[in-house]
């Protein structure tokens, strides 16, 4: 069928293949609430400027409210022949209010219309992500408070390095997520300019008030250049970049949950709510929620890359290629929202095995650095010499199959005569973590102070 919304330029309808590749209603229907809000603001402005009558503006607003109710309630019939959400809404408006509907598109184009709708959708999405990030941070802070003094091994290169507290480890992710929230909020601030009124690419000769429309839709200001307004999607790319970094942080935490919950580590246990079994191995408890969160990162990063590639070679202004901008953004935001919800659930659900963590924290000569530091503080060795002495003691303990604390004082004195009985005070994991009182260190008192600080900041 011919699409009459195009006007008189085309005498015949599109081929089936053209209709298939051209239609976007299957996915851009997600923009319906934003599209209707933009149209209501536009009609109100047109009436305020005397471009359309107050009566027609009133009919348009009532008709748009009715359409939104139909879509909300699942009573609206979307037509692929009408291509997109804008034409579907406009056609239905015409059916409801008659010729007055035709005045709505005065002084605008689908180009500035979709740019406005898309900014509104991304803005709503960023607000939702910000709320979810705050919720996850709150969950991590709460668990950190419970485990401010719970000792676990800290790793570098996935090798036992120095003892830390579980609370300190969890707070590391709070710091990452706080920066993520900053990026989300920055992206929102930069996108919060209104393209409506830029029209197709050059602006309009009608005496519109773009500042009024922008204010009505909650934007800080109208966009300053009509060409840029309709032809860039950097606001979506920036939002997806922020989302991708969040996804990477979630993936890192998910990876740790996978490792910690393995039989070889046994640091934490997830309940049945976040685990699955095996179809053949009855003993299995698989951390599938964490594994799927980990996988979502690849999907979200892929979505961002897809949009970057769509945009990279486009001349000004609008190109139909940009119809391919939305599915990736919708998918990335929905995937990240699900990953955030799952991660928040796992953080609240996981149960640490405190004894096993503590035992692992004391293995692998994890207090060797404490021994080197003691040699600097007490006998007064230069750190490089202390490092060498400690290395010889580690080698001795490793050869005998014992930990540093199991070496006798006489054995230690064969390496350095200045070592005294007091050295054993620094060779326990509990004393090791308590000693790390420097700003940002793992000492339990530090962790408790940070928990209070974050509780006040998150609210």
Give DSSP secondary structure letters for 92-110. HHHHHHGGGGGGTTTT--H
The active-site residue, picked from 2, 15, 271, 278, is: 278
Burial pattern 159-195, b for ≥16 Cβ within 10 A else e, equals: ebbbbbbbbbbbbbbbebbeebbebbeebbeebbbbb
**Whether pLDDT at 161 is above 50:** yes
Q: Does residue 278 or residue 210 have the better pLDDT? A: 210
pLDDT for res 2: 47
pLDDT for res 244: 98
Q: What percent of the chain has pLDDT over 90?
A: 85
Range of weakest confidence among 6-10, 177-181, 294-298, 312-316 = 6-10
Q: Catalytic residue at 53? A: no
Rounded average pLDDT over 25-35? 94
**Whether pLDDT at 284 is above 70:** no
pTM comes to 0.91
**Whether pLDDT at 283 is above 80:** no
**Whether pLDDT at 279 is above 60:** no
Rounded average pLDDT over 223-228? 98
Confidence grade of residue 280 (pLDDT, cut at 50, 70, 90): low
Under 8 Å between Cβ of 267 and 354:
no
Q: Catalytic residue at 157? A: yes
Nearest to 236 by CA among 326, 340, 299: 326
Instruction: Say which residue the tokens 């590639």 belong to.
Output: 309
Range of weakest confidence among 203-217, 340-354, 364-378 = 364-378
Under 8 Å between Cβ of 96 and 58:
no
Confidence grade of residue 16 (pLDDT, cut at 50, 70, 90): confident
pLDDT for res 275: 80
Please state the φ and ψ torsions of residue 393, each to the nearest 5 degrees. -70, -40
Rounded average pLDDT over 379-387? 94
Range of weakest confidence among 6-20, 248-262, 317-331, 406-420 = 6-20
Nearest to 60 by CA among 75, 80, 45, 77: 45
Confidence grade of residue 309 (pLDDT, cut at 50, 70, 90): very high
**Whether pLDDT at 19 is above 80:** no
The active-site residue, picked from 157, 205, 438, 439, is: 157
pLDDT for res 9: 58
């Amino acid at each position: 069928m011919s699409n009459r919304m195009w006007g008189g330029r085309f005498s015949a309808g599109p081929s089936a293949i053209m209709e298939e590749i051209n239609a976007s209603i299957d996915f851009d229907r997600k923009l319906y609430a934003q599209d209707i809000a933009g149209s209501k603001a536009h009609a109100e402005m047109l009436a305020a400027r005397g471009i359309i009558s107050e009566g027609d503006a009133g009919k348009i607003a009532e008709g748009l409210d009715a359409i939104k109710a139909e879509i909300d309630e699942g009573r609206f019939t979307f037509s692929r022949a009408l291509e997109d959400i804008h034409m579907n809404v406009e056609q239905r408006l015409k059916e409801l209010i008659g010729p007055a509907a035709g005045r709505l598109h005065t002084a605008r184009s689908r180009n500035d219309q979709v740019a406005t709708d898309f900014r509104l959708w991304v803005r709503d999405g960023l607000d939702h992500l910000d709320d979810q990030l705050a919720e996850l941070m709150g969950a991590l802070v709460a668990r950190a408070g419970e485990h401010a003094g719970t000792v676990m091994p800290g790793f570098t290169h996935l090798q036992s390095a120095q003892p830390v507290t579980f609370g300190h480890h969890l707070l590391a992710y709070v710091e990452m997520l706080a920066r993520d929230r900053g990026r989300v909020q920055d992206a929102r601030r930069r996108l919060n300019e209104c393209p409506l009124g830029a029209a197709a690419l050059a602006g309009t000769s009608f005496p519109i008030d773009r500042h009024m429309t922008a204010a009505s839709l909650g934007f800080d200001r109208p966009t300053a250049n009509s060409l840029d307004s309709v032809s860039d999607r950097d606001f979506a790319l920036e939002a997806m970049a922020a989302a991708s970094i969040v996804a990477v942080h979630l993936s890192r935490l998910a990876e740790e949950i996978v490792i910690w919950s393995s039989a070889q580590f046994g640091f934490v246990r997830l309940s049945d709510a976040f685990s699955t079994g095996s179809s053949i191995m009855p003993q299995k408890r698989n951390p599938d929620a964490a594994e799927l969160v980990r996988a979502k990162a690849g999907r979200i990063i892929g979505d961002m890359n897809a949009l970057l590639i769509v945009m990279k070679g486009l001349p000004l202004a609008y190109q139909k290629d940009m119809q391919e901008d939305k599915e990736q953004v919708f998918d990335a935001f929905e995937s990240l929202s699900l990953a955030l919800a799952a991660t928040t659930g796992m953080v609240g659900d996981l149960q640490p095995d405190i004894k096993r963590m503590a035992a692992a924290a004391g293995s692998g000569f994890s207090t060797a650095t404490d021994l080197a530091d003691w040699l600097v503080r007490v006998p007064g060795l230069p750190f490089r010499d202390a490092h060498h002495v400690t290395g010889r003691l580690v080698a001795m303990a490793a050869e005998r199959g014992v930990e540093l604390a199991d070496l006798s004082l006489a054995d230690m004195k064969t390496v350095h005569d200045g070592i005294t009985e007091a050295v054993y005070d620094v060779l326990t994991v509990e004393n090791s973590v308590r000693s790390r009182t420097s700003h940002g260190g793992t000492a339990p008192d530090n962790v408790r102070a940070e928990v209070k600080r974050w509780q006040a900041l998150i609210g």
